[in-house]
Amino acid sequence: MSALPSTEPHHADPLIIAGKRYTSRLLVGTGKYRDLEETRRAVEASGAEIVTVAIRRTNIGQNAGEPNLLDVLPPERYTILPNTAGCYTAEDAIRTCRLARELLDGHDLVKLEVLGDQKTLFPDIPATLKAAEILVKEGFKVMVYTTDDPLIAKRLEELGCVAVMPLAAPIGSGLGIRNPYNIRLIVENAKVPILVDAGVGTASDAAIAMELGCDGVLMNTAIAAARNPVLMASAMNKAVQAGREAYLAGRMPRKLYGSASSPIEGSFF
Amino acid sequence: MQIFVNGETRQVPPDCNVAQLLAEMRLADKRCALEVNREIVPRSAYATWVLQNTDQVEIIHAVGGG
């Protein structure tokens, strides 16, 4: 008996970032949840193995005893991806990454974002390139947030970033993939994983990103701002898998006219 | 002497080291990282890093974010 083709290609189709293998192609943020328990349940339902966190001042004084995010998302279980969210200069982003590496005992995978505009949250590309170059030299494994510009994406890859993460639409906008052609061009030209980061609104957006050939999707608000975040996390988990399988399966060609699925032969009418 | 911790003024005894500061703030067993005057202090140096008057201390941790 010949071996049946696998119906679960993701098992043999790992996402590899900086030499480490992951089963899940969905990466999730941890912001905007009601509380840490909801965060924990949503991350669990998403199936994500890589979770993004922000780096901020520790609560001092009255709130010093508050539970810590890393207590509910232990680094022993999840790959923690500290981000430079809120940084508007290369210097602030680099400083944040250095502190994060110290916080996580030398763990050097970081998500670099250098913002350029408070209204759109679009990245400052010159500052992003500058920060990426320095961080790579310092030994960081940089997953970089960028615009959907294919030339910039390639440049970031050439600088040594381990993954390039073009936006689908502005952070937190939920507008879906505004320029699928650019995402596709970026994917076609890339030798490192390409992940859509930001702008996904619902499950179909995540599936489309994967059908375009992206290696993964990173999202936060689409899950956290859903009416039922835990259920949406589950939906995103499935959408990313479905989109990946559809991409690997290869879609049928589009046709202008109908084409019957039932045979004409054998008709008795 | 007076130092600044996360932007707030704080009185500490002379010769106070980083480990003593964190213990005093009940942060000794918390997962955090720390810099003094923008220089990272490794965990292994907490007990030997003596704070100076007007030092700017930043203590950071991980919070929810995307």
- Interchain CB contact of B24 with A (< 8 Å): no
pLDDT digits (tens, 9 = 90+) for A13-36: 999 999 999 999 999 999 999 999
Report the C-alpha gap between B49 and B56 in whole angstroms.
13
* Residue type present at position B30: K
- Interchain CB contact of B5 with A (< 8 Å): yes
> What are the residues whose beta carbons fall under 8 Å from the beta carbon of A140, sequence distance 6 or more?
A97, A101, A108, A109, A110
Name the residue among A86, A107, A194 with its Cα closest to residue A144: A194
Q: How far is A122 from chain B, CA to nearest CA, in Å?
A: 14
Q: Which residue of A has its CA nearest to B63?
A: A54
Q: What's the whole-number mean pLDDT along residues A238-265?
A: 95
Instruction: Lowest mean pLDDT of A11-15, B4-8, B17-21, name the range.
Output: A11-15
- Closest Cβ opposite residue A39 in set B26, B61, B64: B64
> What are the residues whose beta carbons fall under 8 Å from the beta carbon of A75, sequence distance 6 or more?
A104, A107
Q: What is the DSSP letter of A103?
A: H
Q: Write down the ipTM of this complex.
A: 0.95
pLDDT digits (tens, 9 = 90+) for A37-47: 999 999 999 99
pLDDT digits (tens, 9 = 90+) for A69-111: 999 999 999 999 999 999 999 999 999 999 999 999 999 999 9
- Interchain CB contact of B38 with A (< 8 Å): yes
> What are the residues whose beta carbons fall under 8 Å from the beta carbon of A103, sequence distance 6 or more?
A55, A82, B31, B32, B33, B60, B61, B62
Q: Which residues of B touch A28 (CB under 8 A)?
A: 66
**Average pLDDT over chain A, rounded to whole?**
94
**Per-residue pLDDT at A3 exceeds 70:** no
**Per-residue pLDDT at A144 exceeds 80:** yes
User: Pairing mode, if any, of strands A216-219 and A50-57?
Assistant: unpaired
Q: Which residue of B has its CA nearest to A96?
A: B60
SS3 A11: helix
**Interchain proximity A95–B25, CB inside 8 Å:** no
Q: What's the whole-number mean pLDDT along residues A195-223?
A: 97
- Residue A32, burial from CB neighbour count under 10 angstroms (0-12, 13-18, 19+): middle
Catalytic residue at A137? no
